[in-house]
């Protein structure tokens, strides 16, 4: 009997760990999705610059999370601790029996846990990249990413996922509508405020369209992100529990579908056209919206959460333009606006009566204020010191040829 129980335990441990590693890989592939969306929505003359940032972001994200982020987010708050700040030391220090079934209640190894969480950290930074594209200095963006993903994101994350004060309060965020998406969205909002709009974006009260380089690439990017969300939300179950994982994947996909429809109908009414870009961002809006409550919101309510997110993403994009806040890919509308909505939706539609709207509001406000103020200070300090924008000449001619010496799209004719 003892041998049989041990075999079952080992089998569950292996299954859980395999699912968590697969989820890690799916979240990793989301970076390719972000790269596709940003390069597709961005102008051709800035393609290499956009892709360069998207390549460096996960590199910086994983390394900073290795050196400080993981132990800032999971500091091991002691019982009775205020749960505001803690740090368990630099690097990865394997806990006792950390790579055995004793870690994470036998769910997966310490190493798998680190890598899965590191992918989330890098995602928060990538959100900022698309919003500030086409006019930010590459060096400035990289410095911001290093500080934001290394310090700000894990400290805010520790308040819930590290058993900090928001967790003790009862705030709920299953997979990061607030802790990942709106934190990144607040950083993006601070960035576009400090940066200012691209040259020629707003002229005489009119919004000037700057066509992206590749609609097919943007579509591919969105579907890669949708694929990655199966790991983003499905992996956040933190086990391979078949009932919960399958439930989460259903609510996630349903919200993505209605998000696309909500954006399509809203754009049709507003712009009098079938706007593919808005549909694509609507899909992402639905995914962001359901992320906070994918395990506690019913499939029927998930349809509504996604649909409202699709409506909000269009309204948000229009509102940003009215205030001359230039967001190249709609990152603020997708991740901030719909991240906030999705987190509040938990307080409205959760099957758990302990998830109240007041608790969700407190969490949204605390995380939002911290992330925005911190990002604004970082960006503004960089503006005053090393500078934040490329020259007007570089912006007009394109950042690829000036900063990288190559272009993203080159046609060579044989003579």
The domain that holds 308 is classified in CATH as 1.10.3430.10
Q: Residue 33, CB half-sphere, CA atoms under 13 Å: how many?
A: 19
Residue 326 and residue 379 in contact, taking contact as beta carbons nearer than 8 Å: no
Q: Evaluate whether residue 260 is within a structural domain.
A: yes
**Separation in Å, CA 294 to CA 115, 225, 282, 298, 363:** 22, 16, 17, 8, 17
Q: What are phi and psi of 200, to 5 degrees?
A: 80, 10
Residue 371's pLDDT is what? 98
Determine the structural domain holding residue 14 and report its residue range.
2-79+86-404
Q: Evaluate whether residue 415 is within a structural domain.
A: no
Binned at pLDDT 50, 70 and 90, residue 414 comes out as low
Q: Evaluate whether residue 57 is within a structural domain.
A: yes
Dihedral of CA atoms 241, 100, 29, 158 in degrees, nearest 10, equals 90
Rounded-to-integer distance, Cα 111 and Cα 203, Å: 52
Q: Evaluate whether residue 185 is within a structural domain.
A: yes
Q: Can you give the three-state secondary structure of 210-247, one letter per residue?
A: CCCCCHHHHHHHHHHHHHHHHHHHHHHHCCCCHHHHHH
Rounded-to-integer distance, Cα 408 and Cα 404, Å: 10
Residue 102's pLDDT is what? 64
Residue 17 and residue 109 in contact, taking contact as beta carbons nearer than 8 Å: yes
Other Cβ atoms less than 10 A from the Cβ of 7: the count is 10
**Separation in Å, CA 31 to CA 61, 137, 150, 226, 292:** 11, 21, 18, 12, 20
Residue 263 is classified by DSSP as H
Q: Evaluate whether residue 414 is within a structural domain.
A: no
**Separation in Å, CA 138 to CA 144, 357, 387:** 10, 40, 11
Label the pairing between strands 206-207 and 202-203: antiparallel
Is 384 buried (19+), middle (13-18) or exposed (0-12) by CB count in 10 A?
A: exposed
The per-residue pLDDT for range 352-397, each reduced to its tens digit, is 999 999 999 999 999 999 999 999 999 999 999 999 999 999 999 9
Going by C-beta distance under 8 Å and a sequence separation of 6 or more, which residues neighbour residue 109?
17, 98, 99, 100, 103
Residue 90's pLDDT is what? 93
Going by C-beta distance under 8 Å and a sequence separation of 6 or more, which residues neighbour residue 384?
none
pLDDT higher than 60, residue 290: yes
The per-residue pLDDT for range 163-201, each reduced to its tens digit, is 999 999 999 999 999 999 999 999 999 999 999 999 999
Looking at the DSSP bridge assignments, the partners of residue 350 are 297
Residue 46 is classified by DSSP as G
Residue 188 and residue 127 in contact, taking contact as beta carbons nearer than 8 Å: yes
Mean pLDDT of 387-414: 85
Q: Evaluate whether residue 75 is within a structural domain.
A: yes
Q: Evaluate whether residue 409 is within a structural domain.
A: no
Number of domains the chain is built from = 1
pLDDT higher than 80, residue 94: no
**Separation in Å, CA 232 to CA 141, 236, 274, 292, 295:** 25, 6, 30, 11, 13
Q: Evaluate whether residue 358 is within a structural domain.
A: yes
């Amino acid at each position: 009997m003892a041998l049989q129980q041990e075999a079952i335990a080992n089998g569950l441990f292996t299954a859980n760990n395999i699912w968590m590693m697969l989820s890690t890989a799916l979240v990793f592939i989301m970076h390719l999705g972000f790269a596709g969306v940003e390069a597709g929505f961005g102008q051709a003359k800035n393609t290499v610059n956009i892709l360069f940032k998207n390549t460096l972001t996960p590199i910086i994200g994983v390394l900073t999370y290795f050196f400080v982020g993981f132990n800032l987010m999971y500091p091991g708050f002691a019982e009775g601790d205020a749960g505001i700040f803690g740090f368990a030391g630099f690097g990865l220090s394997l806990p006792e029996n950390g790579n055995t079934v004793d870690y994470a209640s036998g769910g997966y190894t310490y190493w798998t846990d680190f890598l899965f969480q590191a992918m989330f950290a890098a995602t928060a930074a990538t959100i900022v990249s698309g919003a500030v594209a086409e006019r930010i200095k590459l060096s400035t963006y990289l410095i911001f990413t290093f500080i934001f993903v290394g310090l700000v994101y894990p400290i805010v994350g520790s308040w819930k996922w590290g058993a900090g004060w928001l967790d003790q309060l009862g705030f709920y965020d299953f997979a990061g509508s607030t802790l990942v998406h709106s934190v990144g969205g607040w950083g993006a909002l601070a960035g576009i405020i400090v940066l200012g709009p691209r040259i020629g974006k707003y002229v005489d009260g009119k919004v000037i369209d700057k066509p992206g380089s590749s609609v097919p690439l943007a579509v591919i990017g969105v579907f890669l992100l949708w694929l990655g969300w199966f790991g983003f939300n499905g992996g956040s179950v933190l086990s391979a529990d078949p009932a919960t994982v399958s439930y989460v994947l259903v609510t996630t996909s349903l919200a993505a579908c209605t998000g696309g429809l909500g954006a399509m109908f809203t754009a049709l009414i507003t712009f009098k056209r079938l706007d593919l870009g808005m549909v694509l961002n609507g899909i992402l809006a639905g995914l962001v919206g359901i992320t906070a409550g994918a395990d506690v919101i019913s499939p029927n309510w998930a349809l509504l959460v996604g649909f409202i997110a699709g409506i909000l993403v269009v309204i948000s994009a229009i509102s940003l333009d009215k205030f001359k806040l230039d967001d190249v890919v709609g990152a603020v509308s997708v991740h901030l606006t719909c991240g906030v909505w999705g987190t509040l939706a938990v307080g409205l539609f959760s099957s758990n009566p302990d998830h109240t709207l007041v608790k969700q509001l407190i969490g949204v406000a605390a995380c939002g204020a911290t992330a925005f103020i911190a990002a604004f200070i970082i960006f503004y300090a960089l503006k005053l010191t090393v500078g934040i924008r490329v020259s007007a000449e570089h912006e007009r001619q394109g950042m690829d040829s000036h900063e990288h010496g190559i272009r993203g799209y080159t046609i060579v004719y044989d003579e």
